[in-house]
Amino acid sequence: MKEVTNIQELDQFLQENPEAILFKHSTTCPISTQAHDEFMKYADSGAAKPWAMVIVQTARPVSNEIAERFGIKHESPQVLYVKNGTVAWHTSHWNITQDNLSKNAV
């Protein structure tokens, strides 16, 4: 797992991985805890694209940059599937499931 803590790390991660998943996670939200569990099932399945996590409490500027850069309203938890510099798919909250990720982050 790669945790992105600043905008430079975000830029580097996306440059190195033109197809990647960004997972915005809140460490204080029970919905985000459930989404994290589902996301980790997906990540551990072996089907996952390169991915990085943004902890919104400690990396708010990164979370805000992602929302601004891609034009996707911030939510937490939130998953964005980035392909060649644009968001190909995104979802949030209870829709973050292993099944949804496996079907849509392809």
Q: Which CATH class is domain 2-104?
A: alpha beta
| Predicted confidence (pLDDT) per residue in 34-79, tens digit | 999 999 999 998 877 999 999 999 999 999 999 999 999 999 999 9
Contact between residue 60 and residue 69 where contact means Cβ atoms under 8 Å apart: no
| Predicted confidence (pLDDT) per residue in 13-39, tens digit | 999 999 999 999 999 999 999 999 999
Confidence check: pLDDT of 1 > 90: no
Quote the pLDDT of residue 46: 81
> What is the DSSP annotation of 8-57?
HHHHHHHHH-SEEEEEEE-TT-HHHHHHHHHHHHHHHTT-PPSEEEEETT
